[in-house]
Structure 1
Amino acid sequence: MAGTSSGIVAGLTAAAVGTVGFLAYQASANVPPGLGGKSGASASPSAVVSRAPRDRGHPGALPTGSGKGERVVYSVDDDRVWLVDDHNRVQRGFGVRPGSVDPPVGLYWVTSRSHTATGTDGVPVEHVVRFTSVDGVAIGFSAAVGAGADTTMDVKTGGIRERREDGDAMWRFATIGVPVVVIR
């Protein structure tokens, strides 16, 4: 009887591992058609949780373990963004100023865009590229138009602010469905 029980457990374990592998494969597949993403846009979920060391000698270098293919990479610890083409070449890298609410580390997709809007801090912004929300606060990239207001700590903001020229580049690059990889 013991041999039969261990065989059943081994079979169930193998089935569970196969199911998890299949789900991981599906999660790394192309952007769902309903999002209207670019064909072939994908990123590896396993790369998102990678904590491979970065080359601190080159702060502009794309961190290893940040995925593959076309994507936006955002480091919450370094306050830096990289726009990466489908050949894993950095098209542009730049520093940003985050809001008071950070997105969790993970894999997201650009879900909405607005040419102009007003940030939760009352500052007019342009080229808003949103990819998630945290506790009801929209998280996305944007560029302030004109002089920015002083943000009070009482206001929860999810705007990751860019310089206007970086915002223009983000707007051209990050269309609906493009993956956004958030790393530490």
Structure 2
Amino acid sequence: MARSSSGAIVAVLTAAALGGVGFLAFQAEAAPDRPASAHAPAKAGKDKTEDTGGKDKTGGAGADQGQAQNAVPENSGTGLRVVYGLAQKRVWLVGSDGKATRTYEVAPSTVSPPPGAYTVTSRSPQVTGSDGIPIEHVVRFHKDATGIVFGFSAAVDGSSPKPDPAKKTGGIREQPADGRAMWEFAVNNTKVVVVP
């Protein structure tokens, strides 16, 4: 009797141990720090900054959306240029071959420049923005009749502006890495094309 009782206890303990191991394996499979590919296909995300090198890097289900973002807007001129899309709040740095080498989203200010072709008129490595924030890699391309200066810049601290609607400013804020790319690309007299 003692022998069969011991066997039953061992069987119960073995079953409990196997159940515990199975539960731990289930938890490990569902752990949030596991790569998404271990569970299911990764969701296509919207990358704010894409260094395309002329190629789409979004891939997967988002490839069509990524290609649309990377596509240089029609009627934006030819050759080497910066293209700023007002409605898309996006910039394309376009090489002499007509292909975007980089595209990224920007944060516009309270006033937008009119659509048209301009050239880079001046640059400053670092100044204080109209919002009082230190900015760097300032690339200016237009000053309107009322004195509003339009240009691209990045906040030194990486922040995005919270434009005061009561102030009329023309700063177009970039992320620091995008500001560096613009600075290296858009030297004085580089064409800047603003599209609706």
Distance 1:59 1:90 in 2: 10
Q: Which amino acid aligns with 2:94?
A: V
* Aligned 1:56-67 pairs, distance under 5 A: 58-67=68-77
Distance 1:177 1:141 in 2: 15
TM-score by length of 1: 0.67
Q: 1:91/1:157 Cα in 2 relative to 1: closer, same or farther (>3 Å)?
A: same
Q: Deviations over 1:5-36 (max 9, x none)?
A: xxxxxxxxxxxxxxxxxxxxxxxxxxxxxxxx
Q: Which amino acid aligns with 1:163?
A: Q
SS of the equivalent of 1:69 reads coil
* Aligned 1:5-84 pairs, distance under 5 A: 58-84=68-94
* Aligned 1:120-131 pairs, distance under 5 A: 120-131=130-141
Determine the structure 2 residue equivalent to 1:6: none
Q: 1:81/1:64 Cα in 2 relative to 1: closer, same or farther (>3 Å)?
A: same
Q: 1:148/1:163 Cα in 2 relative to 1: closer, same or farther (>3 Å)?
A: closer
Determine the structure 2 residue equivalent to 1:46: none
Are residues 1:142 and 2:153 paired? yes
* Aligned 1:75-154 pairs, distance under 5 A: 75-134=85-144, 135-146=146-157, 147=159, 150-154=162-166
Determine the structure 2 residue equivalent to 1:183: 195
SS of the equivalent of 2:184 reads helix
Distance 2:121 2:94 in 1: 18
Q: 1:65/1:124 Cα in 2 relative to 1: closer, same or farther (>3 Å)?
A: same
TM-score by length of 2: 0.63
SS of the equivalent of 1:73 reads strand
> Alpha carbon RMSD of aligned pairs, Å?
1.7
Q: 1:149/1:111 Cα in 2 relative to 1: closer, same or farther (>3 Å)?
A: closer
State which of 141, 152, 175 in structure 2 corresponds to 1:163: 175
Q: Is the contact made by 2:127 and 2:134 (CA closer than 8 Å) also made in structure 1?
A: yes
Q: For structure 2, list consecutive stretches of 5 or more residues without a partner in the other structure.
A: 1-63
Higher relative contact order (CA 8 A, sep 6+): 1
Q: Find the structure with the greater CA-based Rg.
A: 2
